[in-house]
Amino acid sequence: MSGPRLEKYDIVIIGAGPVGLLLSTCLARWGYKIKHIDMRPEPTVTGRADGIQPRSLDLLRNMGLKRAIMAYSPAKVYEVAFWDPRQNGTGIHRTGTWKSCPSFIDARYPFTTLLHQGLIERVFIADLEKNNVRIQRPWKIFGFENDGADEEYPVSVSLSHVDGHESQTVRTKYLFSGEGAKSFVREQLGVKITHKDPIAHMKCTIHSDAGSIMVIPREANMVRLYIQIASSTDEDWSPRKSATTEEVQAAAKRILNPYWIEWDRIEWYSVYPIGQGIADRYTLDERVFMGGDCCHTHSPKAGQGMNTAFLDAQNLAWKIHHVETGFADRSILKSYESERRLIAENLLNFDSAYSKLFSQRQPSAGEVQDATKSAETGESQDNEFVKTFKESCEFTSGYGVAYDANIFNWSESHPAQHPLFLSEAKGRTKLRSGRILTPATVTRVCDANVVHLEQEIPLNGSYRIYLFAGKPSVTKNAVADFAYGLEKKSSFYSVYQRPDIDAVNYHERHHPHSNFFTISTVFNAYRPDIEIQEMLPELLVRYWDHIYADDVWDHRVPNAKAAAHAKMGLPEDEGGVVVVRPDGYVGCVVKLVHGSGTVDALNEYFGSFCVKPMGTTRAQL
Amino acid sequence: MSGPRLEKYDIVIIGAGPVGLLLSTCLARWGYKIKHIDMRPEPTVTGRADGIQPRSLDLLRNMGLKRAIMAYSPAKVYEVAFWDPRQNGTGIHRTGTWKSCPSFIDARYPFTTLLHQGLIERVFIADLEKNNVRIQRPWKIFGFENDGADEEYPVSVSLSHVDGHESQTVRTKYLFSGEGAKSFVREQLGVKITHKDPIAHMKCTIHSDAGSIMVIPREANMVRLYIQIASSTDEDWSPRKSATTEEVQAAAKRILNPYWIEWDRIEWYSVYPIGQGIADRYTLDERVFMGGDCCHTHSPKAGQGMNTAFLDAQNLAWKIHHVETGFADRSILKSYESERRLIAENLLNFDSAYSKLFSQRQPSAGEVQDATKSAETGESQDNEFVKTFKESCEFTSGYGVAYDANIFNWSESHPAQHPLFLSEAKGRTKLRSGRILTPATVTRVCDANVVHLEQEIPLNGSYRIYLFAGKPSVTKNAVADFAYGLEKKSSFYSVYQRPDIDAVNYHERHHPHSNFFTISTVFNAYRPDIEIQEMLPELLVRYWDHIYADDVWDHRVPNAKAAAHAKMGLPEDEGGVVVVRPDGYVGCVVKLVHGSGTVDALNEYFGSFCVKPMGTTRAQL
């Protein structure tokens, strides 16, 4: 209040769309000091993105925000339909339907959730306010520099009210641009966008001789129409073409012939060219980052924009957290670009492969049914159509995200080469590093609640360590040795013990010992037969709320006695250890054995990117 | 404002506990003018009821209130555990566990939801406020008379502020007392309570040589303990015994030996004697009604109070609605007492039968497992233990409610004697009149959403008519004849056509034609094969949102092609018609046939309690 003291922040976030809000929400919960601005005087009023993919709904649930989203009664899309012109020129007819998220994808919510972006933003904003973060509006950025003048807060950022009467320069550890396609930050950094052809593949679409329409149901009985009013093959084509509502409505009527359409009212209306592109870089210095539409623009018909933005933000959030808390090496921040840019590229490349294969021809209903069946049974994977169909479903549901092998995603070429690592490639587990953890339903032992295992640990910035403990009689010693290994002072787990461990409240469920790991134990046993205090070492007992019985039947593995073990592809009797990244993607899978091997392997894995030394061998102790 | 004009109401409700609030909420939604008062200055602050049974959660969902309840993150109880003293005097040990709602009960939510009553009340109050009903507090009733001085508003009610400075006399069509155990209305009516022995059967309980405790998990990490501090067999026993918190805590510590307990803080504490009783009458004149604790008090350990109260209110709400809208004869109001008093009596009687059978001995874990299996497979139903075990589970989950045969619940002795009625007794359907409709998952045709059929029609005061339409190729004519029969001017359906039918908005989903019926059609077909406009008569097409494909596999009928048909016990090809009361209980089941028979049978059924004449035969038309 008394003079211009320079404000310092952990992060300055520009833009309060999906990517900025999700990043801000995570970091605010984890205690970071945030300056978050947006150019608009208020959240999105109408229009913009509206489709939440199944995978994104998992994420929102993991953040405890799904219920607030669902309270708006969004539309749910389980199926898409294709309409094409009849040969005889009498207008369109339906040529087939396609499940949004067919049953071969193991999704908790096999539907797309449709809801106005402004309502989604409000859910995040309400959560931010609980953590005392308020979006400063309408403010914009007009300058920034990673000048290193302050070692701890190397970036200087200049902000101003949009009317220009007020401005402020602050220092920050990180600057994040979630500005959208027109990004001041990106421009200043000189990062180029590589443009791609607009996608030709559209799911849920009406093709007619007069153009195309995509129909999207929405909350409150509304419908959104994407109406094609021009094509780049038109003689008079211009990317700046405009159109009145009446012209657009007339186009819709022509396309829908022989069906008719009327409007009660128009909620929102906009004309824009469809463009796709991807930024060459997401960061230059791992201090100034970009994400969301700032880095990749999609055809709105692909339904990818907001969902990709969410995952950008989630990916960056925990990495910044791990660096800033002294857990992981600063070099991990490079993986934000390498992981997320690859996904954006894959999405665009997939689309061109898809359209090449089908050359505008929609597959028939019969072909889709056959492909669904093949995908379910895992047959004929070398059939090109089945493969592309499956990939297409995975991309549009959000489960197509697969990060390449790197320091987090174990592979044969990972620096950790302990022989106990299990890989999907060698058929030792069904889990794939860099892929989302397979969902599984289990019984929580402490209160007998039937729960979704993959949702039991919230998005709290921690690694999730799942001890699939097999049959208690078989694994008794291995489980004891595992706990013994963790307790060793030099283990990855103990070197990151909480400094305030003596003051930890007994209600603490997720971080009783370490702020970077939450451990879950899953027994292949019937719940009433599990006696927590008799069957588990003390260290694991402390994770009282994270002990589970794998005793719930699952129709996907109908013959399994322990369905969760079976779904992970781990032996039902011997179990195994699964390390899941804070964002829910599998890091590595390790065999559960007598002796120190299991923890040794994990020490190698974490040792490859953690800051503190760990994992001296037994002999050295 | 200007002078003492006598206010007139459709109903005056005394008491804003669960029974009064649910009644008020229903009637407010259906447009009734309500005066609702409560003696307390604010909703329940702490204590009182906290257990929502699985069946009650269905009801709250049907009212659209479940999400608001769940937003409070209540505890969920899936299992109960029994603890008994060891023979050797070393304190208690766990002797078994028991599922709250075992899998032989087909429940959507097989758990008890535990939440402070005040939070539940707030959910109702918020809904009431949307309909401009505010609870007047702290006010009480001090007089009433069904004096008939005004034919339309026969009851005079005198109310006053609890401090006595302000009072008001109003006239009303109905007076409802949800005052609780100490009821002014009941006392004035001279209705006696028949007392019963306190129940001896308690689920989820700790028996020790020092007394008993029941432990109930609650929201926000709280726990509720019911601690026995005296027994009627004690020498110095008094029903007015009091105890300090310290004395109660000491009792708990003795009972829990060899385990220990500490208190962080005490949220709420009360000492009361356990008493059970039932009012001889619920109404004398079908104008002044009572419900909830006013009519029946249970041991709190039975967990029945609030749940029975909810169902009392629901039962009365639609009956008043049907009389006041001129749909049904006033005599149906007598069924409120006959139906609801029977349930209260059954609950109390069952308890005494139960305790007699077991004489305080808890069944062993093995016995419970065997009984669960027998109950699931339907074997050995004449085994007394299995029968009682099953009944016990049904009662405590809320699915034990079975209304006797009467004018709503068809039986062989119903006045409607058309030969097409199907009964469970004769094995022609699995549905039982007076029992809740079996849940079934189906695909909604219009938007491909996978939905819970039994929840698709909200609690809107209407009869729910489910046309299980079997295979389209088989039932084509029968379905057409069914619609033709409904369209006839004299059908039960057409005589109650909406007077404003020409003005009905096309968004109207539930009442396009009649305010008293919502019709759902369920085909045994794969969703993409259903073409609504080609396969359905116009009348059924208008229920666009209520056309379903019975194409979702169900593990309870794994071999069925049409699981919903199979679960109802209807032939998968030929189907059948199920009439469900507005409260979700089955009224009657009728065979679906060519010709007029199906609608003829329904005309007879509705003709037996509806006001308008209906169902002249084809010859008479």
Q: Which of A217, A266, A268 is nearest to A113 (CA)?
A: A217
Q: Which of A450, A73, A125, A67 is nearest to B69 (CA)?
A: A67
Model pLDDT, residue A618: 39
Q: Distance (Å, rounded) from C-alpha A161 to C-alpha A139?
A: 4
Give the ipTM.
0.87
Task: Give me the residues paired with residue B150 across strands.
Answer: none
| Residues A243, A244, A245, A250, Cα dihedral to 10° | -70
Structure tokens at B105: 């009960």
How many C-beta atoms lie closer than 10 Å to residue A382's C-beta? 7
Phi first, then psi, for residue A530 (nearest 5°) are -95, 115
Q: Distance (Å, rounded) from C-alpha B409 to C-alpha B335?
A: 11
Place of tokens 């994770």: A543
Closest residue, chain A, to B556 (C-alpha)? A555
Indicate the pLDDT class of residue A1, thresholds 50, 70 and 90.
very low
Burial class (CB in 10 A: 0-12, 13-18, 19+), A270: exposed
Model pLDDT, residue B392: 81
Using alpha carbons only, how large is chain B's radius of gyration in Å?
Answer: 26
Report which DSSP code applies to B436: B
Q: Distance (Å, rounded) from C-alpha A97 to C-alpha A367?
A: 11
Write out chain B residues lying below 8 Å of A449, CB-based.
76, 78, 111
A148 pLDDT above the threshold of 70: yes
Residues 6+ away with beta carbon under 8 Å from A427 = none
Structure tokens at A528: 């009433």
A361 pLDDT above the threshold of 70: no
Q: Distance (Å, rounded) from C-alpha B447 to C-alpha A472?
A: 47
Write out chain A residues lying below 8 Å of B75, CB-based.
447
Instruction: Report whether A578 contacts A589 (CB < 8 A).
Output: yes
* SS3 letters across A209-236: CCEEEEEEECCCCCEEEEECCCCCCCCC
Q: What does chain A come to in residues?
A: 621
Q: How many CA atoms are closer than 13 Å to the CA of B19, on its beta-carbon side?
A: 28
Closest residue, chain A, to B65 (C-alpha)? A71
A67: distance to nearest CA of chain B, Å?
Answer: 7
Over residues A197-219, the mean pLDDT reads 72
Structure tokens at B339: 């139906």
Task: Give me the residues paired with residue A301 across strands.
Answer: none
Q: Distance (Å, rounded) from C-alpha A394 to C-alpha A612?
A: 38
Strand, coil or helix: B1: coil
Residues 6+ away with beta carbon under 8 Å from A9 = A33, A34, A35, A153, A170, A171, A172, A173
Write out chain A residues lying below 8 Å of B507, CB-based.
221
H helices of B147-235, where?
184-189
Q: How many CA atoms are closer than 13 Å to the CA of B540, on its beta-carbon side?
A: 28
Number of CB pairs, chain A paired with chain B, less than 8 A apart: 55
Task: Say what the pTM is.
Answer: 0.91
Place of tokens 């459709």: B10
Among A394-398, A475-479, B68-72, B584-588, which stretch is predicted with the lowest mean pLDDT?
Answer: A394-398
Structure tokens at A256: 């829908």
Write out chain B residues lying below 8 Å of A527, CB-based.
79, 97
Structure tokens at B538: 């116009």
Place of tokens 């392997």: A601
Structure tokens at B491: 């059908």
A200 pLDDT above the threshold of 60: no
Average pLDDT taken over every residue of chain A: 90
Burial class (CB in 10 A: 0-12, 13-18, 19+), A204: buried
Flag if A75 and B447 touch (Cβ within 8 Å): yes
Closest residue, chain B, to A443 (C-alpha)? B78
For residue range B544-590, list pLDDT tens digits in order: 999 999 999 999 999 999 999 999 999 999 999 999 999 999 999 99
Contacts of residues B539-544 at CB distance under 8 Å and 24 or more positions apart, as own/partner, are B539/B483, B539/B486, B539/B487, B539/B513, B540/B467, B540/B479, B540/B483, B542/B512, B542/B513, B543/B509, B543/B512, B543/B518, B543/B519, B544/B446, B544/B509
Q: Which of A39-48, A250-259, A375-384 has the largest mean confidence?
A: A250-259
How many C-beta atoms lie closer than 10 Å to residue A232's C-beta? 11
CA angle B378, B383, B386 (to 5 degrees): 65
How far does Cα B328 stand from its chain's mean position?
A: 21
Percent share of chain A, pLDDT over 90: 70
Which among B71, B528, B555 has CB closest to A555? B555
Model pLDDT, residue A358: 56
Residues 6+ away with beta carbon under 8 Å from B221 = A507
Closest residue, chain A, to B109 (C-alpha)? A450
Which among B78, B111, B507 has CB closest to A221? B507
Interface test with B, best of A72, A216, A450, A526 (most B CBs within 10 A): A450
What are the b/e assignments for B309-329, b being 16+ CB within 10 Å? bbbbbbbbbbbbbbbbeebbe
Closest residue, chain B, to A531 (C-alpha)? B94
Flag if A449 and B76 touch (Cβ within 8 Å): yes
Q: Distance (Å, rounded) from C-alpha B324 to C-alpha B27?
A: 11
B53 sits in which H/E element: none
**C-alpha to C-alpha distances, B512 to A301, A395, B271, nearest whole angstrom:** 35, 40, 54
Over residues A515-544, the mean pLDDT reads 96
How many C-beta atoms lie closer than 10 Å to residue A41's C-beta? 9
Q: Which domains does chain A have, with CATH numbers?
A: 8-64+115-193+275-332 (3.50.50.60), 344-397 (no CATH), 421-607 (3.40.30.20)
Burial class (CB in 10 A: 0-12, 13-18, 19+), B428: middle
Flag if B448 and A79 touch (Cβ within 8 Å): yes
Q: How many CA atoms are closer than 13 Å to the CA of A319, on its beta-carbon side?
A: 24
Q: Distance (Å, rounded) from C-alpha B237 to C-alpha B243?
A: 13
Closest residue, chain A, to B99 (C-alpha)? A448
Among A1-5, A27-31, A446-450, B585-589, which stretch is predicted with the lowest mean pLDDT?
Answer: A1-5
Amino acid at A526: Y
B175: distance to nearest CA of chain A, Å?
Answer: 35
What are the b/e assignments for A517-543, b being 16+ CB within 10 Å? bbbbbbbbbebbebeeeebbbebbbbb
Write out chain B residues lying below 8 Å of A553, CB-based.
555
Which tops the pLDDT comparison, A232 or A186?
A186
Q: Is B450 left (phi over 0), alpha (psi -120 to 50) or beta?
A: beta
Model pLDDT, residue A532: 95
Closest residue, chain A, to B96 (C-alpha)? A528
Q: Which of A155, A129, A151 is nearest to A68 (CA)?
A: A129
Catalogue the E-assigned strands of A21-165.
34-37, 51-52, 75-77, 79-85, 92-99, 112-114, 139-146, 155-161
Model pLDDT, residue A302: 62
B441 sits in which H/E element: strand B441-444
Q: Which residues of chain B have pLDDT under 70?
A: 1-4, 49, 197-204, 231-234, 237, 239, 274, 299-302, 351-366, 378-383, 616-621
Percent share of chain A, pLDDT over 70: 91
Contacts of residues A40-43 at CB distance under 8 Å and 24 or more positions apart, as own/partner, are A40/A16, A40/A137, A40/A138, A41/A137, A41/A138, A42/A137, A43/A16, A43/A118, A43/A121, A43/A122, A43/A125
Q: Distance (Å, rounded) from C-alpha B416 to C-alpha B257?
A: 62
Chain B residues near any Cβ of chain A (below 8 Å): 67, 70-71, 75-79, 96-97, 99, 110-111, 217, 221, 365, 443, 447-450, 507, 527-528, 553, 555
A330 pLDDT above the threshold of 90: yes
Q: Which of A2, A27, A20 is nearest to A137 (CA)?
A: A20
B76: distance to nearest CA of chain A, Å?
Answer: 7
A323 pLDDT above the threshold of 50: yes
Q: Which of A196, A203, A197, A252 is nearest to A229 (CA)?
A: A252
Phi first, then psi, for residue A274 (nearest 5°) are -90, 120
Phi first, then psi, for residue B76 (nearest 5°) are -120, 130
Flag if A76 and B449 touch (Cβ within 8 Å): yes
